[in-house]
Structure 1
Amino acid sequence: MTQETPFSGWRDEIGVFALAVQFLTRLPVPQDLAFSEGRLLRATRYYPLVGLLVGAIGAGVLLTAAMLLPWPVAVLLSMAATLLATGAFHEDGLADAADGLGGGLTRERALEIMRDSRIGTYGALALGMALALKFAALAAFAPADAAALLILGHGISRYAPVAVVARHPYARETGAKFTAPSVSAAGHRAALATTLALAAALALALGPGGALAALAGAALLAALVARRYLRRLGGYTGDCLGATQQMAELGLYLGALAWL
């Protein structure tokens, strides 16, 4: 029988956070993490913190590269660092969702296209435009502001898919071998609380007006893409969640740039 200690709860939560890191990124974590559907459900509350970690990696590369290389190159390297850290997890979802929603004339056909790992015209255009707009927006800021946007933008945008999962149904059929993404009410509240703290940090970095503009941009683009797939599919898929995160991140950068 394992004896409980005052630190057992903390160690367990660290393990759940590591599970969230393992699910959303390619960053190294212990390979012997305890796994269960319940623990994966609990891990959802840490998605904004995982985004914060990814953004910090990008910001570190950005500020280091900016001391040695031209500013546009530093921005591109910072973006590459975040793509390597996540394995382009959300970007892949954006491309697949764009292919399905753009090329599928019916709900069933759209869902079928999203299962195809090959990228099509709609996916390539959506992904290319999203990356190009992120680069153009970040390159317009001073290094310190761009670094803050990277850190907080990645963190805040990870809440968007959590909010979708908390409020809407899954679009595909599920069975014994597959469980739809889900979040508990407590997990949703924890993710929201973390996001509100990150929003306060954004206000300190950009000022209240800049933060409000950035958050409005994030909410607007995330809502627009969610409205699109919820109407077409009657719910969300994993690819749709990736697209939602990408649009929230891009919208945050563009909102901040519009205020600037």
Structure 2
Amino acid sequence: MSETKAQSNRQWLTNRDWLNREWQAFWLAVGFLSRIPMLVSVDYSARLMNQSSLYFPLVGLMLGLIYSLLFLALALLWSPAVSVGLVLAFHLWLTGAFHEDGLADCADALGGGMTVRDKLKIMKDSRIGTYGTVALVIALGLKVALLLEIPNIALALLLAPCMARLTPLLLMRYLDYVSDRDRSKSKPVAESFSTDRLLVATLFTILVGLVASFWASWILLWATIATAGTAAVWGGSLKRQLGGYTGDALGASVVLSELVLLLLLAGE
């Protein structure tokens, strides 16, 4: 009996350690993707940072819930156009324009660089160029326009951030990381993303889509096309032009996936 009890205690401690590690990984993902304060003490490590990638869609759902509730509150006072504009401004502040910065850097690099080395060099430049400015203006303007075309704006705001954050996980799993491994802040996130964790993140996103299908019947199909389609097209372009992906390319994939999903929702 004592041996059985000892084994049970060891198993409980092992499970407790696992839960604590995953809980920290979730909050690390929150801190990485937004300015929301981490409410727990995190024992940071490169491995934990890598594990946090699993929770990107969940963090996206949390952000989407904030945006959706904010829109519903603002819509009590202002028009849908004003409310969407204010939600977008809040989104840029809350995330530090994290993914939009990646889109701008990618546009400058892929539009202005001739060789792989030139493109990676431009991508690391903190200054924004013509291609990046144009890409940002088009992306932000199109996002507002598409949201205003969708009958259920609150639902779109809720779901799009969750669905879109599956796309970078697909890129991380199936492409090589080509940025400066010693200096890139995305290195711990980007390297060695396992198939098992991708499967869990995908199943979570599918579950969200299935629940949402009670309100929007085609949402799961549109989300699949947006995430998998963007990963395939954008990933193929990155493979041809860079030989793989960078941290900025992951951020850009989120913006692109959101736009594709909103295009499909607006076209219903």
Q: Quick check: 2:36–2:94 contact (8 Å CA) kept in 1?
A: yes
- Superposed, which structure 2 residues align to 1:13-162 within 5 Å? 13-30=22-39, 32-142=41-151, 145-162=152-169
Q: Which amino acid is 1:86 matched to?
A: T
Q: Which amino acid is 1:155 matched to?
A: C
Structure 1 unaligned residues grouped into runs of 5+: none
Structure 2 unaligned residues grouped into runs of 5+: 1-11
Q: Which moved more, 1:235-244 or 1:82-91?
A: 82-91
| In 2: Cα distance, 1:81 partner to 1:58 partner | 8
Which residue is equivalent to 1:163? 170
| In 2: Cα distance, 1:177 partner to 1:217 partner | 28
| In 2: Cα distance, 1:53 partner to 1:138 partner | 19
SS in structure 2 of the partner of residue 68 of structure 1: coil
SS in structure 2 of the partner of residue 152 of structure 1: helix
Which residue is equivalent to 2:212? 202
Paired positions, count: 255
| In 1: Cα distance, 2:127 partner to 2:63 partner | 26
Does residue 185 (structure 1) correspond to residue 192 (structure 2)? The answer is no
SS in structure 2 of the partner of residue 205 of structure 1: coil
Q: Quick check: 1:59–1:147 contact (8 Å CA) kept in 2?
A: yes
SS in structure 2 of the partner of residue 204 of structure 1: coil
Evaluate the alpha carbon distance shift between residue 210 and residue 155 of structure 1 in structure 2; reply closer, same or farther with a 3 A threshold: closer
User: What whole-Å deviation, never above 9, does each CA across 1:10-34 have from its counterpart, x for those lacking one?
Assistant: 3332211001101111111147411
Structure 1 residue 38, shift from structure 2 partner: 1.5
| In 2: Cα distance, 1:243 partner to 1:17 partner | 22
Q: Quick check: 1:214–1:253 contact (8 Å CA) kept in 2?
A: no
Does residue 224 (structure 1) correspond to residue 268 (structure 2)? The answer is no
Fraction of identical pairs, as percent: 37
Q: Quick check: 1:160–1:222 contact (8 Å CA) kept in 2?
A: yes
Q: Which amino acid is 1:64 matched to?
A: A
Q: Which amino acid is 2:163 matched to?
A: I
TM-score (norm 1): 0.90
Which residue is equivalent to 1:256? 265
| In 2: Cα distance, 1:215 partner to 1:66 partner | 30
2:13 to 4, 29, 34: 4
Q: Quick check: 2:209–2:219 contact (8 Å CA) kept in 1?
A: no
Evaluate the alpha carbon distance shift between residue 202 and residue 257 of structure 1 in structure 2; reply closer, same or farther with a 3 A threshold: same
RMSD: 2.2
Q: Quick check: 2:175–2:235 contact (8 Å CA) kept in 1?
A: no
Q: Which amino acid is 1:174 matched to?
A: R
Q: Which amino acid is 1:220 matched to?
A: G
User: What whole-Å deviation, never above 9, does each CA across 1:129-161 have from its counterpart, x for those lacking one?
Assistant: 11111101111123xx21111111100100000
| In 2: Cα distance, 1:227 partner to 1:119 partner | 24
Which residue is equivalent to 2:3? none
Q: Quick check: 1:55–1:82 contact (8 Å CA) kept in 2?
A: no
Evaluate the alpha carbon distance shift between residue 50 and residue 105 of structure 1 in structure 2; reply closer, same or farther with a 3 A threshold: same
Q: Quick check: 2:170–2:231 contact (8 Å CA) kept in 1?
A: no
| In 1: Cα distance, 2:228 partner to 2:15 partner | 40
Evaluate the alpha carbon distance shift between residue 73 and residue 188 of structure 1 in structure 2; reply closer, same or farther with a 3 A threshold: same
SS in structure 1 of the partner of residue 13 of structure 2: coil
